[in-house]
Amino acid sequence: MTTAEGQPTADVRLEDVVKRFDDTVAVDGISVDIPRGSFFALLGPSGCGKTTTLRMIGGFEEPTEGRIFLGDQDVVGLPPYKRDVNTVFQSYALFPHMTIEDNVAFGLERKGVPKDQLKGRVSEMLELVGLSGFAKRKPRQLSGGQQQRVALGRAIVAETKVCLMDEPLSNLDAQLRVEMRREIRALQRRLGMTMLYVTHDQVEAMTMADQVVLMRNGRIEQDAAPAALYEKPATIFAARFVGTPPMNVIPATLVPAELASPPRPRDTLAIGIRPEAVRIGASGMPATVVAVEYLGADTLIDTRVADQSFIVRVGGRASVTVGDNVHLAWDATAAHWFDLSSQCRIDH
């Protein structure tokens, strides 16, 4: 469904939302539209306001100022059970005394779904999340990944407008997190439902989301598709937060003339270079190798340029060792320019 202007209908809309806790501003005037059927991520470090934003959408916190819409309904002041959303928490929040099927059925029972429909819908959902043989077990009999599937099934089976997910994979080990993020994304695409996913893990946000809102200090630092966030970071913070390892950002005055064509005088600028765009050669910016980390498919080389770290990523095994003096170079098209006073991106 789209609006008269052809834009996707927003399932969630925040207008100038502010949240204060006494003298602390947790969320500082943010406005966001989450289109129907999209996978939307709120990304940022601890304390940036992302979980508070999710809790306000879910009704667990009320905004100090601003409006929150689910579809066309302003839900400010409505309790959680009257909002057309369901939440998957970091802790799973399963009822330990209930069986898996009873956990999944809980929300449906509260909505008054007839008993003759209940069992069939629960069975379908357990099959969808790969747990059809676990209906009679208790949560303690399941692994962390299986418990998270139960929590996901419980949220989805209620068929609410929006599914909210608050750091849902943070309690899982690394390999299971990879598997679960693929399963969640595949499930969201299959069902066509709207998901709002809160995470501090930029890999999760970049691999799962259609759109990412990067937050910092209660404000939106950048709102973009994952590729745009990586390829055109709007600020130095965005450049350093997104990417593994993050972008190298150094004052332009440290860069030799042949490696830079700055848009204005160097003393007002910083230059950003992704580690994978850097090559080690016979000429370029002088640097000293301080660490070498061989990762199998590639190698991370930590160098120092005028006491600042500058990371290089090369394929396979590197031919340098700690203590080597090297020269670093890159193509001019790989350079990202930032204003040092505003910390914002500059395009030629």
Model pLDDT, residue 1: 39
Mean pLDDT of 135-153: 88
Q: pLDDT band at residue 7, thresholds of 50, 70 and 90?
A: low
pTM of the predicted model as reported, rounded to 2 decimal places: 0.89
Q: pLDDT band at residue 285, thresholds of 50, 70 and 90?
A: very high
155 has a pLDDT exceeding 70: yes
Mean pLDDT of 236-265: 94
Per residue, what are the HEC states of 82-118?
A: HCCEEEECCCCCCCCCCCHHHHHHHHHHHCCCCHHHH
Q: Which two tokens stand for residue 218?
A: 């209660």
pLDDT digits (tens, 9 = 90+) for 63-86: 999 999 999 999 999 999 899 898
81 close to 109: Cβ distance less than 8 angstroms:
no
Mean pLDDT of 93-115: 84
164 has a pLDDT exceeding 60: yes
Instruction: Name residue 110's amino acid.
Output: R
Structural domains present in the chain: 10-234 (3.40.50.300), 238-346 (2.40.50.140)
Mean pLDDT of 52-69: 97
